[in-house]
């Protein structure tokens, strides 16, 4: 909840109150520009002075961990042919 409140507070104080948009179209375009700035260029103290999109891209490009419980085929303890042979022999 606090994150959303901080976002709206920043939007109001850094954009809406300063620009005093004349109508809805102007406000929509101006707010869209501010959101793009906020996500792509504005540095955030809580993110180690990095932009949110930089953090998001880094996480999307990072190698994914394999959950061995949900993906038993990912286990590399034994080749598949050997596993099948052993299960038929048992």
Residue with tokens 């793009």: 36
Q: What is the pLDDT of residue 76?
A: 61
Q: Do residues 51 and 43 lie in contact, with contact meaning Cβ atoms separated by under 8 Å?
A: yes
Q: Running DSSP on this structure, what letter comes out for residue 47?
A: G
pLDDT at 38 over 70: yes
Q: Is the pLDDT of residue 90 over 80?
A: no
pTM confidence score: 0.61
- Using the predicted structure, report yes or no on whether residue 66 has a pLDDT greater than 70: no
Reduced 3-state DSSP string for 30-90: HHHHHHHHHHHCCCEHHHCCECHHHHHHHHHHCCCCCCCCCCHHHCCCCCHHHHHHHHHHC
Each domain of the chain, given as residue ranges in start order, spans 2-89
* Owner of token pair 């022999």: 89
**DSSP 8-state code for residue 69:** T
């Amino acid at each position: 909840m606090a994150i959303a409140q901080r976002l709206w507070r920043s939007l109001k104080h850094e954009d809406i109150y300063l620009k005093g948009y004349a109508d809805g179209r102007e406000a929509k375009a101006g707010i869209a520009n501010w959101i793009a700035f906020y996500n792509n260029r504005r540095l955030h103290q809580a993110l180690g002075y990095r932009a949110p999109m930089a953090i998001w891209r880094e996480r999307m490009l990072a190698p994914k961990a394999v959950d061995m419980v949900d993906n038993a085929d990912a286990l590399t303890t034994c080749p598949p042919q050997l596993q099948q042979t052993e299960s038929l022999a048992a």
